[in-house]
């Protein structure tokens, strides 16, 4: 068992316990990936057939890394493990079983853009206000329903849900959901949420299918279990019900995706689901210095709802955490940029050793400007993925139509691109004909002369013939040859080649890069199925971490804290540590929301290996108004012995300043002390806060059960405002209100005390 020699006692015990339910509580930087990969390798070394092992992850990157590590121990057998993201594994199962639930095996997977495009089309057909029925909101509502396994039929029968939609001024939401589901079905398409929803339907409705996969997967492992939602939880529970050889790995302290539907209770209640579970705790942090680990522990211990563990480090003590205060967000950017330049020179570091983390994407602007001014190269993570670029999506739409001509979103996208004389009026006629006859759009296209006249019929008919020719080519050619044929004969390559602008050249090169990727895919030796349809499934299931990023580029990394999870950097800057920014103003309505924000801060702190910088600004523009800011409560929650205050004209220890509480007191007293830079002339040093609102005489809160978007309201302190959004379930409905004096705020209605003006 030499391959286990490098594991510490806790890691080794978790690896060797292969039978029965197991929970591995893995603290930050504790070697979680190492344990999962060695555990799978150990199962195979013990004689378990890799075809009987299922490993579920949240990113393709994690799955790829694990498979490579397992292969280094057990060799080529690692290729036979069922390993991948939830969505990719269940898409693979659905490809085999889809016909049972009425879908073709070559169903299309709609990405977020496809989904929102279809929703917008439905809203237009129903003549609904797209501001009230915002496509993003509708998409989120449908997604939430699916992740809670609520079908369109159940949604429309649920009186509480329907009453909530009516109260929010969106009584047609149920009908939109029903129409959306029908249109996806008609198009032979599933969105990302369907891959989980339909798998649940499959396992629930067809016991023989459930039995098949329960005996196929004799050993289950789930990574990042704290991030699972209800739908994922139920699938895993069903699959593990026969053998109960289930191992979940995660850290409740890093559960930060509640907004995506993740339920922290899944990991907190695992012991209730499996009373005979064996629990292993990985508590040694190999990533960070003792200073950083101690600071992180001092914050996360403030959370009440957590699994008990004692994370520690045996690394060097390390430097204290520097806390910088700036007058404005622009000055904060300058402080960060100068610190990067200085540390890089003094410690012989590369730019890629630095990361800047922030709570919201909007904060990147000030950082970008400061870095550009002194020529520090940087890369923003979370930008447009290669596969989300227009020209790439256009060509892929042709690929999708070739294998699933019923894919209506793909058809609408390219029926007149490149231009072939099929205008909006003709497309509208196709849509109307399909709707009236209850046909699919493709049926109208291939019978164009029945439904259309003259040139329109010829143009549409020729488009249909072209797609049918692509289908014939795909049956006998490789993925690359098929893709090249479609790129050439669709006219896309010619159209982009003729555009000699810088942007046009870039788009043409992007198409070439896509074709290069397909060529590489066609020549891979580690996969058996190499058709273009298989390539498309792979790219449809790419996760956010799979964007085209060069890991060797020497650039400072900039990203939101949510995007940083799973990453690590020698030097980390966490910026914007101010109340109502971090923690977010939207998270201060309940303990559970505040605890999630604290976990988010914990994740940010534990990304740092050697050095951590924290900063905040005492003023920041919001909605065009310069507001005073107070330091984040998270600064006060850090162990003061771990901090070094990098304040100008202030003592450099928390003991002498009374902690950040004294900073808050100074803020509340409108302290006019001069900071590191003079205040701009536009700001009066007495106060820049709005004048206090004087309530209307006889002010009394109204019953807000019938509150609707668009209503004018009065708040006792915030003044007059207009309701711009309502969300959530009773009794926890949140109202987003734009107040004339303060800008936008989100309030929990049961506590808000609003007077309805009209």
* Binding-site residue ranges for ATP: 26-33
- Encoded tokens for 680: 């701009």
Q: Phi/psi at 70 (nearest 5 deg)?
A: -65, -40
Q: Does 650 qualify as catalytic in the annotation?
A: no
Residue of 17, 18, 33, 175 marked active site: 33
Dump the DSSP string for 337-364: HHHHHHHHHHHT--GGGEEEEESSGGGH
Q: Output the CA–CA distances (angstroms, integers) from residue 427 to 21, 403, 430, 452, 611, in the order listed.
A: 56, 21, 5, 10, 58
Asked if 332 and 575 count as a contact pair (C-beta separation under 8 A), the reply is: yes
Asked if 605 and 292 count as a contact pair (C-beta separation under 8 A), the reply is: yes
- Annotation: binding site: 26-33
- Encoded tokens for 279: 């629990």
DSSP H stretches of helix in 286-423: 290-300, 329-347, 364-373, 390-403, 408-414
Q: Does 224 qualify as catalytic in the annotation?
A: yes
Residue of 11, 12, 32, 704 marked active site: 32
How much of the chain is in helix, strand and coil states, percent to nearest 5?
50, 15, 35
Q: Which residues pair with 734 in a beta bridge?
A: 727, 748
Residue of 114, 191, 194, 223 marked active site: 223
Q: Does 33 qualify as catalytic in the annotation?
A: yes
Among candidates 414, 452, 413, which has minimal Cα distance to 433? 452
Residue of 172, 179, 254, 402 marked active site: 254
Q: Does 609 qualify as catalytic in the annotation?
A: no
- Cα separation, 302 vs 190, in Å, equals 42
Residue of 224, 329, 394, 407 marked active site: 224
CB atoms within 10 A of CB 365: 12
749 CB-side CA count, 13 A: 25
Return the sign of the alpha-carbon dihedral for residues 515, 521, 524, 529: negative
- Per DSSP, the three-state class of 381 is coil
Dump the DSSP string for 123-147: HHHTT--TTTT-HHHHHHHHHHHHH
Residue of 67, 607, 610, 755 marked active site: 607
- Cα separation, 515 vs 527, in Å, equals 18
- Per DSSP, the three-state class of 487 is helix
Residue in the structure block whose two tokens are 């896509």: 514
Q: Are strands 246-250 and 22-26 parallel, antiparallel or unpaired?
A: parallel
List of residues 6+ apart from 280 with CB closer than 8 A: 10, 13, 14, 17, 22, 23, 24, 25
- Cα separation, 196 vs 190, in Å, equals 10
List of residues 6+ apart from 694 with CB closer than 8 A: none
SS (H, E, C) 559-593: EEHHHHCCCCEEEEEECCCECEECCEHHHCCCHHH
Terminal-residue alpha carbon distance, the chain: 75
Just list the catalytic residues. Answer: 32-33, 223-224, 254, 607
């Amino acid at each position: 068992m030499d391959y286990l020699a490098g594991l510490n006692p806790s890691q080794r015990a978790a690896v060797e316990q292969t039978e029965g339910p197991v929970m591995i509580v893995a603290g930050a930087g504790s070697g979680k990936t190492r344990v999962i990969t060695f555990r799978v390798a150990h199962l195979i070394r013990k004689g378990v057939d890799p075809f009987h092992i299922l490993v579920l992850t949240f990113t393709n990157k994690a799955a790829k890394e694990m498979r490579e590590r397992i292969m280094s121990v057990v060799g080529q057998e690692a290729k036979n493990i069922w390993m991948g993201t939830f969505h990719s594994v269940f898409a693979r199962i659905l490809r085999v079983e889809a016909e049972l639930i009425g879908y073709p095996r070559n169903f299309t997977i709609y990405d977020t853009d496809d989904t929102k495009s279809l929703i917008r089309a439905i809203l237009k057909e129903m003549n609904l206000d797209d501001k009230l029925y915002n496509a993003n909101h509708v998409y989120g509502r449908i997604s939430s329903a699916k992740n809670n396994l609520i079908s369109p039929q159940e949604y429309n029968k649920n009186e509480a849900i329907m009453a909530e939609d009516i109260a929010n001024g969106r009584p047609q939401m149920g009908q939109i959901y029903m129409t959306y589901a029908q249109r996806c079905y008609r198009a032979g398409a599933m969105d990302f949420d369907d891959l989980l929803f339909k798998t649940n339907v499959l396992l629930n409705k067809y016991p023989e299918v459930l039995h098949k996969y329960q005996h196929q997967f004799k050993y289950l492992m789930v990574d990042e279990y704290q991030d699972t939602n209800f739908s994922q939880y139920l699938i895993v529970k069903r699959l593990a019900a026969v053998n109960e050889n289930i191992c979940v790995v995660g850290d409740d302290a890093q559960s930060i995706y509640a907004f995506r539907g993740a339920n922290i209770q899944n990991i907190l209640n695992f012991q209730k689901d499996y009373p005979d579970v064996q629990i292993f705790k990985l508590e040694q942090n190999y990533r960070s210095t003792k200073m950083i680990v101690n600071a992180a522990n001092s914050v996360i211990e403030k959370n009440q709802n957590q699994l008990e563990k004692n994370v520690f480090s045996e690394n060097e003590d390390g430097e204290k955490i520097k806390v910088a205060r700036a007058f404005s967000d622009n000055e904060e950017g300058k402080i960060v940029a100068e610190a990067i330049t200085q540390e890089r020179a003094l410690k012989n570091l590369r730019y890629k050793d630095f990361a800047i983390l922030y709570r919201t994407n909007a904060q990147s602007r000030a950082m970008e400007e400061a870095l550009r001014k002194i020529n520090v190269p940087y890369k923003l993570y979370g930008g447009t993925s290669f596969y989300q670029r227009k020209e790439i999506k256009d060509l892929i739409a042709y690929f999708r139509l070739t294998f699933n001509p019923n894919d209506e979103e793909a058809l609408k996208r390219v029926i007149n691109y490149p231009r072939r004389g099929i205008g909006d009026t003709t497309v509208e006629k196709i849509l109307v004909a399909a709707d009236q006859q209850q046909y699919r759009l493709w049926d109208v296209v291939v019978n164009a002369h029945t439904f259309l006249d003259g040139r329109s019929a010829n143009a549409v008919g020729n488009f249909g013939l072209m797609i049918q020719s692509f289908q014939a080519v795909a049956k006998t050619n490789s993925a690359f040859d098929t893709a090249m044929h479609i790129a050439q004969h669709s006219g896309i390559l010619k159209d982009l080649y003729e555009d000699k602008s810088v942007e046009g050249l870039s788009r043409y090169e992007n198409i070439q890069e896509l074709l290069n990727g397909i060529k590489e895919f066609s020549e891979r030796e580690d996969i058996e199925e190499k058709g273009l349809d298989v390539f498309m499934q792979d790219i449809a299931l790419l996760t956010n971490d799979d964007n085209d990023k060069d890991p060797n580029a020497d650039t400072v990394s900039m990203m939101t804290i949510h995007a940083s999870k799973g990453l690590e950097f020698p030097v980390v800057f966490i910026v914007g540590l101010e109340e109502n920014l971090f923690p977010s103003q939207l998270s201060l309505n309940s303990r559970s929301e505040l605890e999630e924000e604290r976990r988010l801060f914990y994740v940010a702190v534990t990304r740092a290996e050697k050095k951590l910088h924290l900063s905040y600004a005492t003023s920041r523009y919001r909605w065009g108004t310069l507001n005073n800011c107070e330091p984040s409560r998270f600064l006060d929650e850090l162990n003061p012995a771990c901090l070094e205050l990098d304040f100008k004209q202030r003592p450099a220890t928390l003991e002498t300043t009374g902690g950040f509480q004294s900073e808050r007191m100074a803020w509340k007293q409108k302290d006019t002390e001069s900071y590191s830079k003079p205040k701009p002339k536009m700001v009066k040093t007495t106060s820049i806060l709005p004048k206090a609102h004087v309530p209307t005489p006889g002010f009394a809160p109204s019953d807000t059960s019938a509150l609707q978007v668009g209503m004018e309201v009065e708040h006792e302190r915030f003044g007059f405002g207009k309701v711009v959004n309502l969300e959530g379930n009773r009794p926890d409905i949140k109202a987003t209100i734009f107040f004339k004096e303060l800008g936008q705020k989100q309030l929990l209605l049961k506590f808000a005390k609003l007077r309805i003006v009209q």
